[in-house]
Amino acid sequence: MPAPRFYMDNYLSATNRIARQINRNLIFNQIRTRQPISRADLARSSGLQRSTVSLIVEELLQERWIVEGSVGQIPRGRRPTFLNLNVQRSVLAVDIHPSQTTLAVTDLGGTILAQRHIQLPANPARVVGAIVTAIRRKIAAHPDLRFEGIGINMPGRLDPQMEKFIFAPNVEWPIGHLKSRVEKATGLPVVVDNVANACALSEVWYGYSDGHHDLVVVNVSEGVGTGIYANGQLLRGAGGVAGEFGHVQMEAEGRRCGCGSHGCWETIASNRAGMRYYAEITGKTLASFDELLRLVDTGDSAATRAFQQMCQALGRGIHMIALALAPHEIVVVGDITSHWNLAGPLIEQEMISHRLVKVPLLRPAHGGSTALLGTAAALIMSGKLL
């Protein structure tokens, strides 16, 4: 029998450039989280040699990602100059939902500076134009800022090679045309990704997850989507569709899903499912998931039961993910995280009520219900800074 052949042509070697990228990312995030900070403190907090820190800081200063600020006071020796992110450089975040879109201006660290919601037109043919117009107006409203790019979170799957959407069952308008239209209208680089993928990247890029352990993000919205970060990179799969756990069948005779199947996980665990549970209990229809959360806050028994049912269904699906992928941690993002004190224990209890080989850490995304908007900076910066 001939010996097996291993094709190594597409493998990357560990080069000095990769180490430099990692160190630049580390220094940038140390400045972001600890600003104002001196070079000496950067060396201590990062564990890098002072010469390495000085070289990277000078590069970041020359490229205007950071700026020097005030001078510190010490008893003796050279007074340190503190470093800060350049507040004049920003990113525009666009968070797309089937009927509503949120625009936000963020700084390079993902902090939201301004935001607004826009209701999308009922006519599918007018949706892309409405979003493009809103983006241009938002940029024009901030002439003092330099926009590095536009990060767009989408509720669907994008083929990164073909740059076209191939799976967006909850969207009824021509979502695939948005990237090129926005680039043409603004002249800015546009990065588009599935919202759960973007959140997974953001968790690692900004250091909320260490990047050395596998991570799964579960985005709970109109549907349920997942982003998988494994072996140091986003797992996209063939055609970019890896992670569609929301469309794994959980109930053989369940409700029809937007994807055309029946009983998918998102039909029992999404925001829409929570609203439906409330309608089934009371006979009353809610206008939004926010309304359900407000009723939970008032102690409404029907809303609480509906919320609990939704969380239990989430726990069942998260058990499936934990069993299939055994990640180090599972991060939940979406409006539900604003009530994590209630949702977290319910989800975890359901998850661990079934046998698991390894129990992952379960937590809400950093930034809670606003985490989706902060991901845009990660989408842009992960390409630009490195």
Residue ranges covered by each domain of the chain? 16-85, 89-200+372-384, 210-364
Mean local confidence (pLDDT), 99-106: 88
At residue 385, the pLDDT reads 57
Nearest to 31 by CA among 72, 75, 87, 78: 87
Within its chain, how far is the Cα of 189 from the centroid?
Answer: 19
**Residue 148 in contact with residue 89, Cβ under 8 Å?**
yes
Q: Which of 130-139, 231-240, 270-279 has the weakest average pLDDT?
A: 231-240
Q: Are strands 146-154 and 190-194 parallel, antiparallel or unpaired?
A: parallel
Given a cut of 60, is residue 378 above it in pLDDT?
A: yes
The listed CATH number (3.20.20.140, 3.30.420.40, 3.40.50.20, 3.10.450.50) that belongs to domain 210-364: 3.30.420.40
Annotation: CATH topology of 89-200+372-384: Nucleotidyltransferase; domain 5 (3.30.420)
CA distance 301 to 60: 54
Choose from 3-12, 87-96, 279-288 the range with maximum mean pLDDT. 279-288
Query: Please, which residues bridge with residue 330 across strands?
Result: 216, 362
- Tell me which H or E stretch contains 317: helix 301-325
Residue 122, sorted as left (phi over 0), alpha (psi -120 to 50) or beta, turns out to be alpha
Residue 44: left (phi > 0), alpha (psi -120 to 50), or beta? alpha
- pLDDT, residue 4, reads 42
User: Who wins on pLDDT, 232 or 84?
Assistant: 84
303 token code pair: 């809303």
Q: Do domains 16-85 and 89-200+372-384 have the same CATH topology?
A: no
Lowest mean pLDDT segment, chosen from 176-185, 213-222, 279-288? 176-185
Report which DSSP code applies to 67. Answer: E
What is the reported pLDDT for 43?
92
- pLDDT recorded at residue 10: 44
Q: Which two tokens stand for residue 186?
A: 């603004």
Question: Does residue 176 have a pLDDT over 50?
Answer: yes
> Average pLDDT in the 51-66 region?
91
- Please say if the pLDDT value at position 362 is more than 80: yes
Cα–Cα distance measured from residue 240 to residue 113, given in angstroms and rounded to the nearest whole number: 32
**What's the mean per-residue pLDDT of the chain?**
85
Averaged pLDDT, 137-152: 93
In angstroms, rounded to a whole number, what is the distance separating the alpha carbons of residues 46 and 23?
9
Tell me if 83 sits within 8 A of 142, measured CB to CB: no
Give pLDDT, residue 70: 64
What is the per-residue pLDDT across 1-33, written as a single tens digit (0 to 9) for each? 444 443 334 444 445 666 777 788 888 888 988
Q: What is the mean pLDDT of residues 315-329?
A: 95
pLDDT tens per residue, range 201-258: 888 877 677 767 899 999 999 899 999 999 888 888 877 778 889 999 999 889 999 8
Residue type, 105: V
The CATH T-level fold of domain 16-85 is Arc Repressor Mutant, subunit A (1.10.10)
Nearest to 68 by CA among 85, 53, 54: 85
Residue 337 has pLDDT above 90, yes or no: yes
Q: Which residues contact 73 (CB under 8 A, 6 or more apart)?
A: 79
Predicted local confidence at residue 259, as pLDDT: 85
